[in-house]
Amino acid sequence: MVSRWFLRALVAGYLLMLVAWPVSLVATNAFTNGLDAMVMVFTDPGVVHALQLTVLVAGIAVVINTVFGVAMSMFLVRYEFPGKRLLSALLDLPLAVSPVVVGLALVLVYGGRDGWFGPFLESLGIRVIFSTPGLVMATAFVALPLVIREVVPVLTEIGTDQEQAAKSLGASSAQTFWRITLPAIKWAVIYGVVLSTARSLGEFGAVKVVSGNVLGETRTATLAVEELYLNFDQAGANAIAFGLAMVSVLCIVVVGALRPRHRI
Amino acid sequence: MTWAPTRPETPPADLEQRPLPRGRPLLQTNLTTASGIGLGVAMIWFSMLVLIPLCAVLITASEGGWGAFWSTVTHPQTFAAIRLTLLSAAAVTLVNVVMGTLIAWVLVRDRFWGKGALEVLIDLPFALPTLVAGLVLLSLYGKDSPVGLELAYTPASVFLAFLFVTLPFVVRMVQPVLEELEVEVEEAAASLGASRATTFRRVILPALVPAITAGAALSFARGVGEYGSLVLLSGNLPYRSEVASVRILGSIENDNLAGAASVAALLLVISLAVIVVLDAMQRRVADRG
């Protein structure tokens, strides 16, 4: 079959030129200066601080989004309430909004000088923009729908039979959730968490707007890559970029391998 | 037995797709007190994080009146950036409709060695930090390009970056629908004398249209708002390779929040339109199953 081979070659060639080849070049570039250069970059105090901040911010954002996502999915699938369809559409909004618009939106509301709530929060001693809470909010915003989009279809598909059986046998709502519902949606939640983690670690545009890059204090890993690159430290930029790329590749490969082939 | 059936039964999963019948009270709900409070807390967080800030963008943009909005958006440099963004996003969406559907087709219907690796390649642009995506493309299409294609700092670099970051959307929307599609229907069409082209056009394509449209809407939105992958790749040259989100960031850095909000509001309206299309198409995909 000529057409089959043609399609295979076309798809493989397209993905090679667009993704595989460029990504592998970054990997080789990261190692051209040897391991020593790499170790030097990752022991630089500024870079270490940026990595720690990234892990902290992404960690908090992922926890918030997981709890919010699983709860929201339960409300959307298991309950009826007015405005449900509108809410379900609005929850997809972060997928379609530019990261820069996300950052701007947060600055307009939580900016310390003339935001809507910013001055009030600042008078309570809470600084959001140019500080860690702002980074967490920006990160949580962009990754918001990922858990929900994985969990909702699975919750819909498993139905309510087992939950009702558990209830009729005397289980409380909490028991039913922890022992029946959660195990059934486990893989969807894990997949959602992994996608959120990858997205959160790599967020750049929204974080850049709210960070203000205050003396390196609010510099995350992606911001550090930009700064190194613009300061002509290509080796350093490549090393951190390679590290970030490795984490996201690992996320995808591990989950792809762990997840049962049959999608539930 | 402790469980008393006082609560209305939760609706079966397939019921929620249908609108509530007319004549029932407007506040049709089966929320219990506890779940109602939970939903309330979740809604407060969602409003604080997403809804109120996005409203702030629209309100700030409208504060100066229509004239101020219009003069900001039609400022030559801004207008050039918006035009480049929209044209590139539209072109990339077209490419994705064709290539995304093809890739999904090959992944579902064909079996060959290395298919698993292709699956990983599809998800990679979604998981890769956008800034790193720019750096990655720069390595093959930047200065001293190994393939002789120096696209960095040209308008084509915008197209390339959009193409990279939007790769998964159409593929991942179409793939599950194609998996569900029964081969028997195609065989029936073929046995009734339909050519392969006719079978594709009359049987397969109509089933895929909602998924393709949903994927296309997401790619368009993602392209229009893209920022991270362009920072290092396009050089952000005014009138040449500068896109709308870079203009917004420039205004923010110059402390011109009102100007930034005007352009942001334009992008936000596009995002909202995309969400409406996405919602309608996802419902059609779900109905089919």
Please report whether residue B76 resides in a domain.
Answer: yes
Q: What are the angstrom distances between the C-alpha of B40 and each of A72, B32, B46?
A: 11, 12, 10
pLDDT of residue B8: 38
pLDDT over 70 (residue B3)? no
Contacts 24+ apart (CB under 8 A), B203-210: B207/B177, B207/B181, B207/B288, B208/B101, B208/B174, B208/B177, B208/B178, B210/B177, B210/B281, B210/B282, B210/B284, B210/B285, B210/B288
Please report whether residue B70 resides in a domain.
Answer: yes
Structural domain count of chain B? 1
pLDDT over 50 (residue A263)? no
Asked if A98's CB is within 8 angstroms of B267's CB, the reply is yes
Q: Where are the alpha helices (DSSP H) in A20-79?
A: 21-32, 34-43, 45-78
Please report whether residue A126 resides in a domain.
Answer: yes
pLDDT over 70 (residue B20)? no
pLDDT of residue B185: 83
CA–CA gap between residue B238 and residue A223 (Å, rounded): 23
Closest to A241 (Cβ–Cβ): which among B122, B132, B231? B132
Domain CATH code at residue B146: 1.10.3720.10
Please report whether residue A16 resides in a domain.
Answer: no
Please report whether residue B39 resides in a domain.
Answer: no
Confirm if A174 and B27 have CB atoms less than 8 A apart: no
Average pLDDT on B28-50 reads: 90
Tell me which residue range forms the domain holding A100.
34-258
Which residues in chain B have their CB less than 8 angstroms from residue A20's CB?
Answer: 121
Name the residue in chain B with its Cα closest to that of A18: B164
ipTM above 0.95, yes or no: no
Please report whether residue A4 resides in a domain.
Answer: no
Number of CB atoms found within 10 A of residue B79's CB: 15
DSSP states of A69-137: HHHHHHHHHH---TTHHHHHHHTTHHHHS-HHHHHHHHHHHH-TTT-SSHHHHHHTT---TTSHHHHHH
Tell me which residue range forms the domain holding B148.
51-288
Give residue for tokens 């943009």: B61
H-helix or E-strand spanning residue A164: helix A161-168
Please report whether residue B8 resides in a domain.
Answer: no
Asked if A241's CB is within 8 angstroms of B228's CB, the reply is no
Q: How many angstroms away from the CA of B3 is the closest CA of chain A?
A: 6
Phi, psi of B140 (to 5 degrees): -100, -30
Which residues in chain B have their CB less than 8 angstroms from residue A79's CB?
Answer: 10, 29-31, 35, 39
pLDDT of residue A214: 67
Token pair for residue A119? Answer: 């001055």
Count chain A–chain B contacts defined by CB atoms under 8 A.
Answer: 286
Which residues in chain A have their CB less than 8 angstroms from residue B275's CB?
Answer: 89-90, 92-93, 96
Please report whether residue A7 resides in a domain.
Answer: no
Please report whether residue A244 resides in a domain.
Answer: yes
Structural domain count of chain A? 1
Asked if B52's CB is within 8 angstroms of A116's CB, the reply is yes
Q: How many angstroms away from the CA of A218 is the closest CA of chain B?
A: 16
pLDDT of residue B2: 33
Identify which of A79, A74, A82 has the alpha carbon closest to the alpha carbon of residue B28: A82
CA of residue A9 relative to chain centroid, distance? 33
pLDDT of residue B84: 95
pLDDT of residue B16: 45
Closest to A93 (Cβ–Cβ): which among B38, B57, B271? B271
Please report whether residue B208 resides in a domain.
Answer: yes
Please report whether residue B24 resides in a domain.
Answer: no
Give residue for tokens 């969400």: B275
Domain CATH code at residue A217: 1.10.3720.10
Q: What percent of chain A has pLDDT over 90?
A: 44
Q: How many angstroms away from the CA of A79 is the closest CA of chain B?
A: 6
pLDDT of residue A165: 92
Tens of pLDDT, residue by residue over B257-276, are 999 999 999 999 999 999 89
Please report whether residue A264 resides in a domain.
Answer: no
Which residues in chain B have their CB less than 8 angstroms from residue A231's CB?
Answer: none
Please report whether residue A6 resides in a domain.
Answer: no
Q: How many angstroms away from the CA of B192 is the closest CA of chain A?
A: 22
Please report whether residue A173 resides in a domain.
Answer: yes
Please report whether residue B101 resides in a domain.
Answer: yes
Please report whether residue B162 resides in a domain.
Answer: yes
pLDDT over 50 (residue B127)? yes
Average pLDDT taken over every residue of chain A? 88
Which residues in chain A have their CB less than 8 angstroms from residue B135's CB?
Answer: 26, 225, 229, 237-238, 241
Tens of pLDDT, residue by residue over A158-215, are 888 999 999 899 988 889 999 999 999 998 899 899 989 999 998 999 999 998 766 6
Which residues in chain B have their CB less than 8 angstroms from residue A205's CB?
Answer: 130, 227-228, 245, 249
Among A62, A101, A240, pick the best mutation site for testing chain B contact (most B Cβ within 10 A): A101
Q: DSSP character for B202? A: I
CA–CA gap between residue A4 and residue A8 (Å, rounded): 6
Q: DSSP character for B236? A: T
Q: How confident is the model at residue B34 (pLDDT cuts 50, 70, 90)?
A: confident
